Structure 1
Amino acid sequence: MDAEPTSSSRSIPARLAGVLSACRDAWSHASKLALDVALPSLCVACREPVEGEGVCADCWAKLSFIAPPFCPRLGIPFVYDPGPDMLSMEAIANPPAYARARAAVRYDDVARTLVHALKYQDRTDLAPAMGGWMARAGRELLGEADVLVPVPLHWRRGWSRRYNQSGALARIIERHTGVTVAAEALRRIRPTEQQIGLSRPQRASNVQGAFKVAPDRQHLVAGRRVVLIDDVLTSGATVDACARALLRAKAKAVDVLVFARVVDGHRTPI
C-alpha cells in the first residue's frame, strides 16, 4: 500500500502557488510602474503630457463648464440671473416631454473634439473624465434617480461602432453614483439618418417613433424616475423622442443628462 503523503509534503504545492502568485503580483506592479514612467498621462483632448488624469491647463481653460444661473427646465445657461424658477423662452415656447435637462459643458471646440473621439475614434478612455464631469453636473437629477437609461443605437450602427458611447458614459456615472444602468430598457426599433445637417423639424421627424420599451422590459422603468444619458443635446429631438417612449412605458418621470449641449450663439458643426 502506498504511504499517505505527509502534511508537510501536501503543503509544498500550496506554498509554491503562493510564491508564484506573489511573483505575478510584483511583476504586474512593476510593469504598471514602468508603463506609467514610459507613457505619462496625456490630456484627453490634445494628447499633450499632463500630470494626473484629465485635461491640460490650456484645454481646461477652453472648456466652457455650465454652472448656474441656467434654465431649470432645459439647463440653458443665462447671461444674468433672472431670479428663481425663471424659465427660458425656449422652455416656455416649446416645452419638452422630459422634466429637466442638464449638461456638463457647452458644445464648443474642445467639447466637440472629445465627443467625436469617443463616438467615432474608439477613444473609450475618454469616458471616465467625461462621465465624471457629467456626474457632477447632474447631481440634482442623479440624487433623485432610480435608473439610468442610455440613448440606444440601432443594432446595425452598434455593430459597426462596436459600442454605444452613451452606454459607456452611463456606466461611468453608475460608478460615481450607484444608480443602476438599464442598458436594454430602451430600444431603437428602426434605423434613422444621422442628425447632422438636419433642421429642427427634420430632426424631430427623423426620430419620431424610432424608440420603444419592449413589453418585457417595462418593469425596468415603470414607476421609476429615469435619467436619460446621451453625449450631446442639440435640438433635443432625440432625447424628447426617447422620453416619450419611456413615459408611455409608465416611467414616473424622465430627466436628461448629457456631456455637452449646444447653446444658441455657440453652435459648431456636429
Structure 2
Amino acid sequence: MTEGLRPLVDLVYPPRCPSCGAATASQGSLCSDCWSELEFPRAYATPEGARHSGIIAATIYNDMSRALVLKFKHGGKIALAPLLGTMLASRIHSEQDEQGDVGEQPLIVPVPLHRTRIWQRGFNQSALLAREVAKAGKGELILDALIRQKRTPSLGNLSAEKRKAVLAGAIAVRAKARPLIKARRVILIDDVLTSGATSDACVEALLEAGATSVQIGCFARADHGALG
C-alpha cells in the first residue's frame, strides 16, 4: 500500500483491530486493549541440551496470541501476516544484537507443510511469516529449502517419544537447497512453538545439510519457565 492511497483506503475501510474489531489508528494494528493482553518473553531462550542455537519469539503463547494465530492459520486471515511477521522481525533484530552476531546475513527458512495440507489450507502460514521477516531485512529468504516428505498426524496428544517417531524421516532439505544451506546460519520460522518436536526435526535436517547454526524464530512460544 502506497502512502498516497492510505487515506483513501482508511476512508473506505476504517482501521479495525484484527482481534476484536475496535477502531485503531492504522490498518493492521491491534487496539490498546488487545495489545495489553499479549505477553512478551523476558529473554533470549536456549533450552539446555538443545541442538539449535536459541528461540526468538515475538510473544508468549497465551489466550490473545492463540486467538491471533487461529484467525491467521485456520481462519484464513492472511492479512495478519504483516503484523505477526513484523513483530517477530523486530524481536530477531534485538536478539541478534544481544548475541553479537556479525557478518553474513542468515538464511530465513520456514517450517514446511505437506503438499496436501497446503492444498487444503491454501497457504503455508510459516512461509507467509518468513516473507515478512525477510522483507524487514533480517536475512535471505529460501521458501522451499525444507520439504515435508510424508504427511504426519496431529502431534498434540502424543508423548515426546511418539512425536519423534512420527516425525522420523518426515522432513528433509531439498537437494537443490543443500549447497545454499552449507556453512550458513539459518533462522527457522514457525508460527507457534509448543513441544518443539517439528522444529527439532527441521533443525536436525538443516544441521545435517551443513548449516553452521540454526535459531528458531516464532510468533508465539509456550512458556516453559526454563526458557526465560
Q: Provide Cα deviations, 1:226-260, integer angstroms capped at 9, x if missing partner.
A: 00000011011111100000111111111110000
Verify the 8 A CA contact 1:149 1:182 in the aligned structure 2. Answer: yes
Q: 1:264 to 1:254 in 2, by over 3 A?
A: closer
Among 147, 150, 154, which residue is 1:194 paired with? 154
Number of residue-to-residue matches in the alignment: 215
CA distance in 2: counterparts of 1:156 and 1:224, whole angstroms: 30
TM-score, normalisation: structure 2: 0.87
Return the offset for 1:113: 0.8
Deviations 1:159-218 (A, max 9, x none): 111110000000001111151110111100110112233333332222222111122220
Q: 5+ residue gaps in structure 1? A: 1-28, 74-90, 266-270
Gaps of 5+ in 2: none
Superposition RMSD in Å: 1.9
Q: Aligned pair in 2 of structure 1 residues 186, 141: CA closer, same or farther (>3 Å)?
A: farther
Matched, 1:213 2:178: no
- SS of 2:136's equivalent? helix
CA-CA distance at 1:38 after TM superposition? 3.1
Query: Percent identity, aligned pairs only?
Result: 36
What is the CA-CA distance between 1:52 and the residue it aligns to? 1.3
Give the structure 2 partner of residue 110 of structure 1.
64
Decide whether aligned partners of structure 1 residues 40 and 157 sit closer, same or farther in structure 2, where only a CA change above 3 A counts: same
Is the helix fraction higher in 1 or 2?
A: 1
Q: 2:31 aligns with which of 34, 37, 56?
A: 56
Closer, same or farther: CA 257–131 of 1 in aligned 2, 3 Å: same
Checking the alignment, whether the CA contact within 8 Å between 1:146 and 1:224 is kept in structure 2 is yes
> Max radius of gyration: which structure?
1
Q: 2:220 — aligned with what?
A: 260
1:121 maps to 2:82: no
Helix, strand or coil at the partner of 1:177: coil
Q: Which structure is higher in RCO with an 8 Å CA cutoff and minimum separation 6?
A: 2
User: 2: distance between equivalents of 1:34 and 1:224?
Assistant: 44
What TM-score do the two structures reach when normalised by structure 1?
A: 0.74
Give the Cα separation in 2 of the matches to 1:67 and 1:126: 24
